[in-house]
């Protein structure tokens, strides 16, 4: 086998509740996560040393230095490889791009060599465990507690980023209340999209308010999504600045993406399907 490719999909936090903070400073989360059918791509092949090449429309500003999560993932596997990262997702955007890239690297290197993925991947980043699965999931704790949710519908969405990188540390630093209620014990599995979206409307992203305080243009993004035809709800994902709108059909989602792209040509806008990833590693 000469090369292995793996997909690194965008992670979308449909709801994100901050439930506490540990003594070591790590925040505790309770989040419902789905993955989109848009994302980065990782290609790996055997080599005598490890080299990372970054290409793609969003490659500017992504460092190929030793602290890049892709290279850290390769070191964790202990495998030398030429690694190409095709960067499609905006970085520092709340889409889990770095963690998804790391997870894809782990899957690709495991596929290339047959070597199992180590158990201690949470050390790479809080989102890496959930990104390894690429499936709808509830993630809790600092990201190490992942419950895969098999009976969830696909959802039509539009992802919007105003091309503003946002520091996760800055957003958490502005959080006023850290001991918030978690998600309900029982999640609405086995429901249709309408019922799930209505349930989601009652949940929160506790990082949305501090993110808006750090970057007020996020509110403009949310407002712009909310008034598109057929939008059932709009929310920020992760620590921002990417926001999403949910729709009941792909036609409305596609039309909304077109209108947003026309009105705000500098924004990154993508119509996507959640919970229906391409069949790649």
Work out whether strand 243-247 and strand 233-236 pair parallel, antiparallel, or are unpaired. Answer: antiparallel
> Contact, 121 vs 129, CB < 8 A?
yes
127 is catalytic: yes
* Active-site residue (options: 11, 40, 101, 206): 11
DSSP string, 32-57: EEEEEEEEEEEEEEE-SS-EEEEEST
- Residue 193: DSSP 8-state: H
Residue 211 CA to residue 90 CA, distance in Å, equals 17
What the block records as the tokens of 209 is 């308010």
| Dihedral sign from CA coordinates of 107, 108, 111, 112 | negative
Residue with tokens 């999931």: 137
Which of 101, 127, 206, 270 is an active site residue?
A: 127
Task: State the Cα–Cα distance between residues 213 and 210, nearest whole angstrom.
Answer: 5
> How many helices and strands, by DSSP H and E, does the chain display?
8, 10
- Cα–chain-centroid distance for residue 193? 20
Measured between its terminal Cα atoms, the distance across the chain in Å is: 14
Map tokens 């929160």 to a residue. 204
Write a three-state SS string for 124-151.
CCCCHHHHHHCCCEEEEECCCEEEECCC
> Are the C-beta atoms of residues 254 and 230 closer than 8 Å to each other?
no
Active site residues: 11, 127
């Amino acid at each position: 086998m000469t090369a292995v490719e793996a997909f690194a999909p965008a992670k979308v936090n449909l709801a994100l509740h901050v439930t506490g903070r540990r003594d070591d400073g790590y925040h505790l989360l309770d989040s419902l996560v789905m993955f989109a059918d848009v994302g980065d791509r990782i290609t790996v092949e055997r080599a005598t040393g490890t080299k990372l090449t970054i290409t793609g429309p969003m490659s500017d500003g992504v460092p190929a230095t030793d602290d890049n999560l892709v290279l850290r993932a390769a070191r964790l596997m202990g495998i030398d490889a030429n690694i190409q990262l095709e960067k499609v997702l905006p970085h520092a955007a709340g889409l889990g791009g770095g963690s998804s890239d790391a997870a894809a690297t782990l899957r690709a290197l495991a596929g290339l060599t047959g070597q199992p993925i180590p158990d201690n991947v949470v050390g790479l980043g809080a989102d890496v465990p959930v990104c390894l699965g690429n499936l709808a999931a509830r993630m809790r704790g600092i990201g190490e507690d992942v419950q895969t949710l098999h009976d969830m519908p696909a959802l039509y969405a539009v992802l919007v980023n105003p091309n503003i990188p946002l520091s996760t540390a800055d957003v958490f630093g502005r959080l006023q209340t850290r001991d918030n209620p978690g998600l309900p014990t029982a999640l609405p599995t086995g429901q249709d999209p309408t019922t799930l979206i209505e349930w989601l409307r009652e949940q929160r992203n506790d990082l949305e308010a501090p993110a808006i305080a750090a970057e007020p243009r996020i509110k403009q993004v949310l407002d712009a999504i909310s008034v598109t035809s057929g939008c059932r709800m709009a929310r920020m994902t992760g620590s921002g600045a990417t926001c999403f709108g949910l729709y009941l059909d792909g036609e409305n989602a596609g039309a909304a993406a077109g209108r947003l792209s026309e009105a705000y040509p500098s924004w990154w806008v993508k119509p996507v399907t959640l919970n229906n990833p391409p069949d790649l590693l």
